[in-house]
Chains A and B, each alone.
Chain A
Amino acid sequence: MASGRNGAKVGIYPLSLNTAVVNHHLDQALNSPLFRNAERQSRFLRFVVDAALQSPPATIKEFDIAVAVYDRRTDYDPRTDPIVRVEAARLRARLREYYEVTPPENMRIDIPKGRYVPQFIPVEAKAVQGAPDLSILVPPIRSLSPDPDDQNFCDGLTEEVVHKLAQDQRLRVITQSAAAWLEHREGPKPRYLLEASLRRAGAEIRLTLHLMELTGGSTQFSNIYQGTTSDIFATQERLADEIRGDLSTALRIGAGGERIH
């Protein structure tokens, strides 16, 4: 499959879902608040999905999108106007956020980096039916000291923890930014809240962490982690690894993803 920086040539993915399912999923996405106010990106998404659903699937070039969606003329040159690449990056981010706040029930659309042909990825029923709800809201870790460097350390640690937790596909990790959307969305809220704060004395740091069930507010797990600020990145990585391991144990996730009772 060939792809170029300017999208001069893209490959075709085989369809593994029927057209009706894809169209229904697309309509749901485009009717969501995230897409309703983004008219061009909605058109972009519909254009590439429609092209991929054709039989045989159409090849989608950067030029085609520029003309059909962004009203560029036929002398459009992607080297001097990278609007499609700009918008593709933004569309990928919008899709990521959409699926973060609206977990897909049967499929999801993915537009791989460097290409414009969407992939339609079936979501296994096992992942949503009968599986335990392992959704965790992760707000920024708070620094209890007034030193802005400590808050920067906490920001980096938050990023690292989210990154480590998100690697476990059994967990649904929801960041603070996504939480704002959840407030306005009907449907299930995250089950757990991961709350942590940091104190520092000299080079010694102490991180207090609580995992709480949002409904009822009961604490599922609590721990204090220690470290130093001598090597910030190494400390952040080690703490994030420990937290991930502890949460896996606390949530009693079995090897197959089942929650052990």
Chain B
Amino acid sequence: MDSNTIRHLQESVALLPVGDLATVDEFYRRLFELAPETRPMFKIEMDQQAKKFSDMLAWVIAHLERPHELCQGLRELGARHSGYGVKVDQYAPVGSALNWMFQHTLGDRFTPEMEEAWLEFYAFATFEMERGSREAVPAGPSATLNSG
């Protein structure tokens, strides 16, 4: 990712309402519309899930210029998701819902350049998560999608 991409990512997140979990609710609402089969994977309360998602987004933005830590964190996230039973193909609707969240919340302020930046980042992030999942040991049946 070049500095322009990083700047667009940072600027788009800076435009989101601070501490407003309703924005994240929009993400999950859209995700479950696009991929209803993912709904049973989320076994904790959705307000907790929204908080975790929000924290993850903040963590990503804070680590964009620390590629070593960012890659490591994404691989660990991928390893956990592998344990929850998430397949490679299920990353796609998540990216679509993420894009929707920005479009829906920011309207015209979500520029084509910002969308391009998120597409690029999401491709990078899910690839790192895949790498992490390939190295992961499958989790037991009690695993739930409770982070990220």
| Same assembly | yes
Known pairs A40-B89, A86-B96, A140-B68; A5 contacts B122 (CB<8 A): no
Is B20 located at the chain interface by the 8 A CB criterion? no
Q: Tell me which residues from 156 to 182 in chain A have a Cβ below 8 Å from any Cβ of chain B.
A: 156, 158-159, 177, 180
Is B11 located at the chain interface by the 8 A CB criterion? no
With a cutoff of 8 Å between Cβ atoms, the chain B residues found around residue A14 in the complex are none
Is B57 located at the chain interface by the 8 A CB criterion? no
Q: Tell me which residues from 20 to 73 in chain B have a Cβ below 8 Å from any Cβ of chain A.
A: 34, 65-69, 71
Q: Interface residues, chain A, CB within 8 Å of chain B? A: 5, 37-41, 70, 79-83, 85-90, 92-94, 97, 140, 151-152, 154-156, 158-159, 177, 180
With a cutoff of 8 Å between Cβ atoms, the chain A residues found around residue B99 in the complex are 82, 85-86
Q: What are 8 inter-chain pairs, A to B, with CB distance below 8 A?
A: A41-B88, A80-B103, A81-B34, A90-B122, A152-B65, A155-B67, A158-B67, A159-B67
With a cutoff of 8 Å between Cβ atoms, the chain B residues found around residue A155 in the complex are 66-68
| Main secondary structure on A side of the interface with B | helix
Q: CB < 8 Å: which of A38, A94, A152, A180 contacts B68? A: A152
Q: Interface residues, chain B, CB within 8 Å of chain A? A: 34, 65-69, 71, 87-89, 91-93, 95-96, 99-100, 103, 112, 115, 119-120, 122-124, 126-128, 131, 134-135
With a cutoff of 8 Å between Cβ atoms, the chain B residues found around residue A94 in the complex are 127
Asked whether A5 lies within 8 Å of B88 as measured between CB atoms, the reply is: no
B95 nearest CB neighbor, chain A only:
A86
Q: Would you give the shortest CB distance from A166 to chain B, in whole angstroms? A: 14
Asked whether A180 lies within 8 Å of B131 as measured between CB atoms, the reply is: yes
Q: Would you give the shortest CB distance from A68 to chain B, in whole angstroms? A: 15
Asked whether A86 lies within 8 Å of B122 as measured between CB atoms, the reply is: yes
Asked whether A39 lies within 8 Å of B89 as measured between CB atoms, the reply is: yes
